[in-house]
Amino acid sequence: MSLYSRIIGTGGFLPESVLTNRDIEDIIDTSDEWIRGRTGIRKRHVVRDGESCSELAEFASRRALEAAGLEPAEIDLIVVATTTPDQIFPSTACLLQRRLDIRGCCAFDVQAVCAGFVYALGVADQFIRAGSARRALVVGAETMSRLLDWQDRATAVLFGDGAGAVVLEADRNPGIISSHLHADGSYVDLLQVPGGIGGDRNEDHYLEMKGNEVFKMSVTTLCRIVDETLKANGMQKSDIDWLVPHQANIRIIRATARKLDLPMDRVVVTVDEHANTSAASIPLAFDVAVRDGRIRRGETVLMEGFGAGFTWGSVLLEY
């Protein structure tokens, strides 16, 4: 019989420090009305000095493990999606592994920016389907605030920090139904941090984005991935119970919901509270909706994300 991977636990964690739109008005020339009208964001959580990406990942992971009823030692695969690792190396996954005192299992990072979590989930699913792992910890964790130029009002208002995690377990019944992952490197100049290894921190180490072009590409691409996912599984739009999108912009989220003919009360939206937490946004949103009782066992969920690279993808699952 075929093996599948099923989500058996979720967890999320946000730094304690909160930065509202009103707070940002004191930093740069912008307004709460302007930010909310264009993005839907009201506030974001940001790390303080001394807080690390692996620390956020640890707290989210422990909550996911507790929800799954597992001890850390029962995990045999760790995949962390992050754009903001604590160090160049070792990987954030290995730093998380040390924090959880898990020894010997495979652990690595995935870097696909805002599509990172669907990439990581797709990779972990393949490990389980192949029989190479039985229980996987899949994490999206980011400290995006450390990549921001706080004088650039086009980008500084968009991002926040946080971590979300899920525990996957091998099962004979379908959990993750399919994953669909893509990239096109010809668009790298539209959204990037151009700096590399070496040298002092300067403007090359801040996030740069051509917002209008990215917005248009993301809407078109995410609508296309919806069609691809449904067609691959012989499903209709009405078969989807919940959309858990990457939380970049409320206008992009609404466009994807319209493509699915889903009312907004069937779409998990946390962008107002969390802003764009990149690879952490989908697992954070999913955890919120599972814990507040909206998403229930047996329901069909579509996750989708679009990030720099460009990278994009979807995961269709039965929760």
- Kindly list the catalytic residues: 114, 246, 276
Q: What letter does residue 267 receive in the DSSP assignment?
A: B
Tokens of 67: 């929800």
Tokens of 178: 């399919």
Q: In sequence order, what E strands does 131-183 have?
A: 135-143, 161-171, 176-183
Length in residues, the chain = 319
CA angle 258, 261, 263 (to 5 degrees): 85
Contacts of 53 (CB under 8 A, 6+ apart): 82, 84, 85, 86, 92, 141, 142, 143, 163
Q: Which of 245, 294, 246, 238 is nearest to 262 (CA)?
A: 238
What are the distances in angstroms from CA 159 to CA 76, 150, 179, 243, 250? 32, 11, 26, 21, 13
**130/28 Cα distance (integer angstroms):** 51
Q: Is the peptide bond before 90 cis (omega within 30 degrees of 0)?
A: yes
**28/157 Cα distance (integer angstroms):** 9
Q: How far does Cα 148 stand from its chain's mean position?
A: 18
Contacts of 87 (CB under 8 A, 6+ apart): 95
Q: Which of 112, 159, 116 is nearest to 139 (CA)?
A: 116
